[in-house]
Structure 1
Amino acid sequence: MLNTLKSKLLSSIKNKRINVFLLFLLFAFVILIISKLSKSYTDTIPFKVEKVKIPQEYVILDDSVTMNITLKTHGFRWLKYYFTQPKVTVDFSKDVQKNDQAFVYNKTKAYLNNTQFDKEVEILNISPDKIAFRYGVNLVKKVPVKIKAEVHYALGFNTSDEIRVEPDSVVVVGPDVLVSKIKYLETEAKQINEVRTHLNQPLKLKFPENKSEVQYSVSQVNLKANVEKFTEGTLKIPVKVINTPKNSVVNYFPKAVSVSYFVSLNNFERITKKDFEVVCDFEKMHDDQNFLMPELVKAPELAKHSKISQQRIEFIITK
């Protein structure tokens, strides 16, 4: 019993000694790493060239360009460059000069030091010291958007104006041979049912197969409409007969017909008889026809689905 207790005590003391040793070893390692990272080092690493603000009418043919830059900085800064690919940003609105064949980037070490790096980083060398970005000419074109979606309203609801898309056109940029073939862009085919509130439905655009070679200003549009509660209205509209035979008197019946229409509740009081016009045209009669066909030649934009309830007008010609 005594021997067992003594053995456990010695084992515990030994384990504590090991733990203390490992702790001091860890501290020594951390101090060594900090000491190493605090020193300055020189190395050459490839920087990816990121091109920004390229004029829309041009396409850059040199798609992947790198710059080998020799830097001198302390170890903590080098960690950033080693764990993520570093890059140099080339702003085509101010950093390049254009000639007949290329955009030329020719910036000094001092310029890069002032714009791309902080004060703790020293640039020793840049290779190449000049980059020529070959370019081609793009075609910039605005094309309309065509709606392919179908909207079905809930009973008693409708739109008080036209369905529209925002934006109603798309700016297309790309090689002339491809962009010139694009006359319009269609939305995705979609059926929207039981609409009873204002419509604001995002719709994706359908692009040609060569989408990767052409740039589009947007990838989707919003289908919009002002939806309101509608009611049916009916008005008696006088019938007007035109192009009657010369030197003849035409008697016809009925003198007025019922015109039904749908209108939003907000606009119901604004619809009057003066907004409609019904005409019977003698010149549109067939030889064997003994009645006139009334036509609704005028209806207000506020009214939907306006129609005449009576499809024939009886007449007698007297001289």
Structure 2
Amino acid sequence: MGKIKSKIAASIKSKKLNVFFLFLLFSFVILIVSKLSKDYTNTVSFQIEKINVPQEHVILNDSVQLNITLKTHGFKWLNYYFKKPKVQVDFSKDVIKKNKTYIYNKSKAYLNNTQFDKQVELLSINPDTLFFRFDTNMVKKVPVTLNASINYAIGYNALNAIALQPDSVVVIGPHVLVSKIKNLPTEQLVLNDVRDNIDTKIALKLPKAHKDLTLSAKQISVTADVEKFTEGTLKIPINVINVPKGVTIKIFPKEVTVAYYVSLKNFQNVVATDFEVVCNYAKITENQSVLVPELVRVPNTVKSAKINNKQIEFIITK
């Protein structure tokens, strides 16, 4: 019997606590509503939203905000605090143009009628005039430069040069900014132990004043065919050129070894006649007793090639 009484007492006490907290919450809500229903005066920074700017002009951000003192109820202030307020400046009707500057000096009454509803009273604006310097657009096509660190797995390499798409970007903006841009580098691309084809995208490293510029692309595609490579060697005959009439020379050796680097699938297609090695007699200086061989023709399928013999001995016989 005693246990039942204690449970009933606990239940009544719990209900009393719930009612207490409910009334406390209700009182708090009433207090907040009462506070927010009152009018308050404060100064808020409004961002400038530029619309209908002539296409041939670029605005340089001299005036970026207005400090406006307003009087309105608390609910309206909540909206300003949670959402960055903006004032629209319509360049088709709100500004006047003077030399290289647009001037905005609308009155309080104009702003009050066009930008704010009847529940908001506009008290003051600072500054009362906005100045927007502008420049004429310049259009320039600049090359893209790849900033990359690519390390291939042992025995692998790119079949051809790495392709960038697009390899150039059209930049539109103020002459003072665009004229200084010579190229657009990418952000750094790092690839290690590469053994498969490269197909990725990388962002361009935008100029510091990129907000005043329009770019035809802000990222590019980077592609390359990657294959397994091998080395080969071939004996290539030497051709001596620019020998004067009446002069006969003998060279030793008469052929050189050319080492080349080629993809595995093209290895069997490379033959000696694909290469040409010459020694230019016209480059001989006084007292020179050797010729220097030059590799003047290499097949497109070969990634790189070099001559192992650096000097060729010769004898002049007239």
User: Structure 1-normalised TM-score?
Assistant: 0.64
Please name the residue that 2:49 is paired with.
51
Identity among equivalent pairs (%)? 42
**Deviation per CA, 1:59-94, whole angstroms, max 9, x where unpaired?**
22223323456668xx76554234444223446688
Residue 196 of structure 1 aligns with an amino acid whose one-letter code is R
Count of aligned pairs: 304
Q: What secondary structure does 1:65 align onto? A: strand
Q: Which amino acid counterpart does residue 81 of structure 1 have in structure 2?
A: Y
**8 Å contact from structure 2 (residues 59, 212) kept in 1:** no
3-state SS of 1:162 partner? coil
Kindly indicate whether residue 130 of structure 2 is the aligned counterpart of residue 132 of structure 1.
yes
The CA distance in 1 between the partners of 2:302 and 2:221, in whole Å, is 25
CA distance in 2, matches of 1:13, 1:65: 59
How many angstroms does 1:296 deviate by? Answer: 0.7
Paired position in structure 2 for 1:285: 284
Name the aligned partner's letter for residue 249 of structure 1. T
C-alpha contact (below 8 Å) 1:279/1:296 kept by paired residues:
yes
How many Å separate the matches in 2 of 1:313 and 1:58?
A: 68
Does structure 2 conserve the Cα–Cα contact (< 8 Å) formed by 1:203 and 1:223? Answer: no
Q: How does 1:36-115 map to 2 (within 5 A)?
A: 46=44, 48-52=46-50, 57-68=58-69, 79-90=78-89, 96=95, 98-100=97-99, 102-105=101-104, 106=106, 112=115
Matched-pair contact (CA < 8 Å) for 1:281–1:292: yes
Separation in 2, partners of 1:154, 1:14: 76
1:247 deviates by 1.6
Amino acid at match of 2:237: P
CA 1:254–1:203 in structure 2 vs 1: closer, same or farther (change >3 Å)?
Answer: farther
Q: Secondary structure at the match of 1:246?
A: coil
Indicate whether 1:276 and 2:275 are aligned.
Answer: yes
Distance in 1 between residues matched to 2:281 and 2:305, nearest whole Å: 23
Aligned to 1:311: 310
Question: Conserved in 1, the CA contact under 8 Å of 2:47 and 2:84?
Answer: no
In 2: Cα distance, 1:32 partner to 1:58 partner? 47
Kept in 2: contact 1:234–1:258 (CA 8 A): yes
- Alignment partners' CA distance in 1, 2:293 and 2:272: 16
Distance of 1:193 and 1:10 partners within structure 2: 74
For 1:304, the aligned partner's letter is K
Alignment partners' CA distance in 1, 2:274 and 2:296: 10
CA distance in 2, matches of 1:168, 1:98: 39
| Bigger mean CA deviation after superposition, 273-282 or 22-31 | 22-31
Q: Which residue of 2 aligns with 1:258?
A: 257
Q: Which shifted more, 258-267 or 162-171?
A: 162-171
Classify 1:131/1:256 alpha carbon distance in 2 versus 1 (closer, same or farther; 3 Å): same
Give distance in 1, aligned partners of 2:153 and 2:269: 24
The answer as to whether partners of 1:252 and 1:316 remain within 8 angstroms in 2 is yes
Give yes or no for contact 1:47–1:88 (8 Å, CA) kept in 2. Answer: no
Give the partner amino acid of 2:63. Answer: D
Q: 2:246 is matched by which residue type in structure 1?
A: N
Over the residues paired in the alignment, what is the CA RMSD in angstroms? 5.2
CA contact (8 A) 2:201 2:219 kept: no
Measured at CA, do residues 161 and 7 of structure 1 come closer, stay the same or move farther in structure 2, by a change above 3 Å? closer
Over residues 214-247 of structure 1, what are the superposed CA-to-partner deviations in whole Å (9 max), with x where a residue is unaligned? 9787999887654322122333433211121322
For the residues of structure 2 that align with 1:90 and 1:173, how far apart are their CA atoms?
20
Deviations 1:167-187 (A, max 9, x none): 7678597895x9877766777
Contact 2:43 2:67 in 1 (8 A): no
Partner of 2:161: 162
Residue 48 of structure 1, CA deviation: 0.9
Q: 1:294 is aligned with what amino acid?
A: P
CA distance 1:246–1:124, change in 2 (3 Å): same
With normalisation by structure 2, the TM-score equals 0.64
Distance 1:41 1:180 in 2: 53
Offset, 1:142: 7.0
Structure 2: tracts of 5 or more residues without a match: none
Is the 1:261–1:306 contact (alpha carbons within 8 Å) kept by the matching residues of 2? Answer: yes
1:295 aligned to 2:290?
no
Label 1:158 to 1:93 Cα distance change in 2 as closer, same or farther (>3 A).
farther
- Tell me the amino acid that sits aligned with residue 49 of structure 2: K
Q: Distance in 1 between matches of 2:25 and 2:190?
A: 66
Kept in 1, the 8 Å contact 2:102–2:134? The answer is no
8 A Cα contact 1:174 1:214, kept in partner: no
Which residue identity is paired with 1:239? I
Amino acid at match of 1:195: V
